[in-house]
């Protein structure tokens, strides 16, 4: 009698979706809602704190009385710590559970932010910013981990839409909020704002996230932290090198080379350790899928488009001498429609709309807004950006909601919720891409503007030279205008020449910003081709919402 053989086959998409429906609750409780709100506040808070630090760096340097070069390390201390703790959150989250990590991190983060404005020592301030970055850096990866495992499938699009807009809104609200604090309170509230919000997050997480079940005695051994330490240290060092590269003049700097190659060495150590002894908490082969790789690339690309509201528009107003409270009204319009857009985007996905279409529509709106901003002149004020920023807010919000929607569907249909190591690795991967994408985009745009400004200065300078009758006429007219407030004719002539040079620099910088706007528009257009390469998910959110968990029959 021949022995029967069983041929194993890969699960179908419907079976994967059904297994996902069985793994997460069908009904949402008040406790779950509190937990989800708590982690969404955490995702918003870490973005808001980093943006506030960037905006208030000048005030912070003035408070300490430090130079530009010393002040540049303050931002790196916070952001490099975010990068370090991102992969390491996989280890601590898998070992201790999200609840214990987030409670401890939010408490320490609140205390650190309350103390930061009172520090007068440069070394102590750097250390405190590192602590703030290490604690708040756990919010992102553990937020996505918890939200995916607790939110019912029929509410998942709404949860992810508000998660996306919480991050996007923090970027666009920060300039107006910081300007109001600086004008009516003090710059100290750039940190005290987080110190007030973090306890709210602590309470919601305490009430909303249940304790992790005790570890089984016969379960897998606790994972080793050595490989995570190597990987996190390598990424943090290379991140710092990337952030400081433009200021240090890249490969010509010994500090840059030391940071870059030491980071590369730690990454090599992490790779060797991974090849010699794999860690059950990390599932790197799980990431090697077509859509996962493309979505990582698109997240990197999307972070570059944010320079429209983070760099280009604020700098286009700053060159006119506008302060933060005058620049904020131009940016706040991109945050005005976020709640409505979040609800609309979530309902559209829940009705069956492919999130790829939502992502593409958002990028198209962002590209159109960038093209409209390319009509910029040096005479523009905040009012000239109101309509374009409203379009930018709608476009960026829809794009991020569609992108997160695609990422979640990819996680569901690749079995991401079936094993803890899958979802932890998945969220840590996208957290790392998000940080590198934002920093790389900001650095590249800063380098691009500097290069284009030199080019336009040279081209404009060809038409502004001595013995040119137009130039001479302008200098003579300006000399006559400033003669009454000068010590003599030579002094008035020098001041007139300086005015001509400042006008030349202003126009060269304006032209470089226009080039930056057009670069963002072209990057959005190219990203649309990458979206077209994404494979369609087997089921959409409307199909997932119809799935019920299988009830076990009682004997």
In tens, the pLDDT along 511-532 reads 889 999 999 999 999 999 999 9
Contacts of 438-442 spanning 24+ positions with Cβ under 8 A: 438/303, 438/306, 439/79, 439/239, 439/242, 439/243, 440/242, 440/300, 440/303, 440/304, 441/303, 441/304, 441/305, 441/306, 441/307, 442/307, 442/310, 442/311
> What distance in Å separates the CA atoms of residue 443 and residue 448, rounded to the nearest whole number?
9
Q: Is the pLDDT of residue 7 over 70?
A: no
In tens, the pLDDT along 111-126 reads 999 999 988 888 999 9
| 325 against 228, higher pLDDT | 228
Per-residue pLDDT, 289:
86
- Phi-psi category of residue 377: left, alpha or beta, with phi > 0 → left and psi -120 to 50 → alpha: beta
Contact 224, 68 (CB under 8 A): no
**Which of the 8 DSSP states describes residue 223?**
P
Contact 350, 157 (CB under 8 A): yes
The two tokens of residue 378 are 């040096």
| 123 against 542, higher pLDDT | 123
| pTM, to two decimals | 0.81
Per-residue pLDDT, 465:
63
C-alpha closest to that of 442 among 537, 262, 541, 306: 306
**Phi/psi at 58 (5° precision):** -65, -45
Q: Is the pLDDT of residue 172 over 70?
A: yes
Across the range 214-231, mean pLDDT stands at 69
Per-residue pLDDT, 203:
92
Per-residue pLDDT, 2:
45
Return all residues near 130 (Cβ < 8 A) that are at least 6 apart.
Answer: 77, 78, 81
Across the range 378-401, mean pLDDT stands at 84
Q: Does domain 281-453+521-547 correspond to CATH entry 1.10.10?
A: no
pLDDT tier at 220, thresholds 50, 70, 90: low
Q: Is the pLDDT of residue 199 over 90?
A: yes
C-alpha closest to that of 426 among 49, 147, 227, 82: 147
Best-predicted range by mean pLDDT (145-149, 163-167, 211-215, 356-360): 356-360
In the 3-class helix/strand/coil scheme, how is 295-347 assigned residue by residue?
HHHHHHHHHHHCHHHHHHHHHHHHCCCCCHHHHHHHHHCCCCCHHHHHHHHHH
Q: Is the pLDDT of residue 403 over 50?
A: yes
C-alpha closest to that of 234 among 193, 269, 263, 204: 263
Across the range 230-258, mean pLDDT stands at 88
Compute and round to an integer the Cα radius of gyration of the chain. Answer: 26
- Choose the weakest-confidence range: 55-69, 139-153, 283-297, 398-412: 139-153
> What distance in Å separates the CA atoms of residue 414 and residue 408, rounded to the nearest whole number?
10
Contact 338, 390 (CB under 8 A): no
**Phi/psi at 148 (5° precision):** -70, -30
**Concatenated DSSP letters for 131-177?**
HHHHHHTTHHHHHHHHHHHHS-GGGHHHHHHHHHHHHHHHHHHHHHH
Per-residue pLDDT, 129:
93
| 317 against 361, higher pLDDT | 361
pLDDT tier at 3, thresholds 50, 70, 90: very low
**Angle at the Cα of 194 (from 188 to 196), degrees rounded to 5?**
95
Per-residue pLDDT, 554:
39
Task: Report in angstroms the alpha-carbon separations of 484 from 408, 491, 492, 499, 503.
Answer: 68, 11, 8, 16, 21
Q: Report the length, in residues, of the chain.
A: 555
| 343 against 16, higher pLDDT | 343
Q: Is the pLDDT of residue 20 over 60?
A: yes
**Angle at the Cα of 270 (from 264 to 271), degrees rounded to 5?**
90
Task: Report in angstroms the alpha-carbon separations of 438 from 242, 292, 300, 475.
Answer: 11, 19, 7, 44
In tens, the pLDDT along 262-279 reads 999 998 998 888 777 776
Per-residue pLDDT, 486:
65
C-alpha closest to that of 404 among 459, 461, 356: 356
| 468 against 395, higher pLDDT | 395
**Concatenated DSSP letters for 75-106?**
HHHHHHHHHHHHHHHHHHHHHH-HHHHHHHHH
Best-predicted range by mean pLDDT (249-253, 356-360, 387-391): 356-360
Which residue bears the tokens 């809602």? 33
Task: Report in angstroms the alpha-carbon separations of 167 from 178, 394, 413.
Answer: 17, 14, 25
Q: Is the pLDDT of residue 499 over 70?
A: no
Task: Report in angstroms the alpha-carbon separations of 314 from 162, 311, 380.
Answer: 26, 6, 12
Q: Is the pLDDT of residue 483 over 70?
A: no
In the chain, the N- to C-terminal Cα span, in Å, equals 35
Per-residue pLDDT, 531:
92
Across the range 141-164, mean pLDDT stands at 75
Per-residue pLDDT, 552:
44
Q: Cα 128 vs. chain centroid, distance in angstroms? A: 22
Across the range 31-45, mean pLDDT stands at 83
| 1 against 186, higher pLDDT | 186
Q: Is the pLDDT of residue 381 over 60?
A: yes
pLDDT tier at 375, thresholds 50, 70, 90: confident
Q: Does domain 30-211 correspond to CATH entry 1.20.1250.20?
A: yes
In the predicted model, what is the mean pLDDT of the chain? Answer: 80
Per-residue pLDDT, 4:
45
Q: Is the pLDDT of residue 548 over 70?
A: no
> What distance in Å separates the CA atoms of residue 171 and residue 526, rounded to the nearest whole number?
24
Say how many C-beta atoms besides its own lie within 10 A of residue 114's C-beta.
17
pLDDT tier at 361, thresholds 50, 70, 90: very high
Equal CATH topology for 30-211 and 281-453+521-547 = yes
Contact 92, 145 (CB under 8 A): no
Contact 527, 302 (CB under 8 A): yes
| Secondary structure of residue 554 in the 3-state scheme | coil
Contact 201, 42 (CB under 8 A): yes
- Phi-psi category of residue 373: left, alpha or beta, with phi > 0 → left and psi -120 to 50 → alpha: alpha
Q: Is the pLDDT of residue 410 over 70?
A: yes
In tens, the pLDDT along 439-468 reads 788 888 888 888 888 888 878 776 666 666
In the chain, where the domains are located:
30-211, 225-278, 281-453+521-547, 457-508
């Amino acid at each position: 009698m021949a022995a029967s053989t069983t041929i194993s086959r890969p699960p179908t998409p419907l079976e994967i979706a059904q297994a996902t429906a069985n793994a997460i609750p069908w009904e949402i409780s008040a406790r779950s809602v509190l937990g989800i709100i708590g982690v969404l506040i955490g995702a918003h808070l870490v973005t808001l704190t980093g943006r506030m630090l960037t905006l208030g760096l000048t005030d912070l340097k003035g408070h300490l009385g430090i130079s530009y070069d010393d002040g540049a390390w303050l931002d790196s201390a916070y952001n490099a710590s975010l990068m370090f703790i991102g992969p390491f959150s996989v280890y601590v989250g898998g070992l201790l559970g999200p609840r214990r990590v987030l409670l401890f991190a939010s408490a320490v983060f609140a205390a650190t932010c309350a103390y930061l404005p009172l520090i007068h020592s440069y070394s102590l301030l750097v250390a405190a910013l590192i602590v703030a970055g290490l604690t708040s850096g756990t919010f992102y990866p553990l937020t996505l981990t918890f939200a995916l495992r607790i939110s019912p499938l029929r509410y998942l699009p709404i949860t992810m839409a508000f998660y996306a807009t919480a991050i996007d809104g923090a970027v666009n609200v920060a300039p107006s909020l910081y300007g109001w604090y600086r004008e009516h309170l003090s710059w100290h509230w750039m940190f005290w704002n987080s110190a007030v919000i973090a306890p709210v997050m602590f309470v919601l997480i305490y009430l909303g996230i249940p304790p992790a079940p005790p570890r089984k005695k016969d379960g897998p051994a606790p994972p080793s932290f050595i490989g995570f330490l190597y990987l996190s240290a390598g990424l943090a060092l290379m991140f710092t090198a990337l952030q400081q590269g433009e200021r240090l003049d890249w490969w010509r700097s010994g500090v840059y080379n030391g940071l870059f190659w030491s980071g590369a060495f730690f990454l090599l150590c992490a790779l060797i350790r991974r090849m010699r002894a794999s860690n059950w908490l990390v599932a790197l082969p799980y990431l090697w899928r077509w859509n996962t790789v493309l979505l990582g690339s698109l997240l990197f690309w999307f972070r570059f488009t944010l320079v429209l509201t983070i760099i280009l528009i604020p700098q286009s107003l700053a060159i006119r001498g506008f302060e933060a409270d005058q620049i904020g009204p131009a940016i706040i319009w991109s945050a005005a429609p976020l709640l409505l857009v979040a609800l609309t985007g979530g309902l559209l996905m829940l009705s069956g709309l492919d999130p790829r279409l939502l992502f593409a529509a958002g990028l198209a709106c962002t590209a159109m807004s960038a093209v409209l901003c390319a009509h910029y002149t040096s005479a523009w004020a905040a009012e000239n950006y109101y309509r374009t920023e409203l379009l930018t807010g709608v476009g960026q919000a829809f794009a991020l909601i569609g992108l997160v929607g695609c990422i979640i569907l990819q996680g569901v249909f690749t079995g991401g919720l079936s094993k803890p190591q899958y979802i932890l690795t998945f969220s840590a991967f996208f957290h790392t891409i998000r940080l590198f994408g934002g920093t790389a985009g900001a650095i590249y745009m800063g380098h691009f503007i500097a290069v284009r400004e030199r080019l336009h200065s040279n081209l404009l300078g060809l038409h502004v030279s001595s013995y040119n009758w137009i130039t001479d006429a302008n200098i003579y007219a300006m000399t006559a205008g400033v003669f009454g407030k000068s010590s003599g004719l030579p002094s008035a002539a020098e001041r007139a020449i300086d005015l001509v040079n400042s006008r030349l620099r202003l126009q060269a910088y304006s032209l470089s910003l226009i080039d930056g706007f057009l670069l963002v528009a072209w990057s959005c257009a190219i990203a649309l081709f990458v979206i077209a390469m994404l494979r369609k998910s087997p089921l959409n959110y409307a199909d997932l919402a119809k799935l019920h968990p299988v009830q076990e029959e009682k004997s």
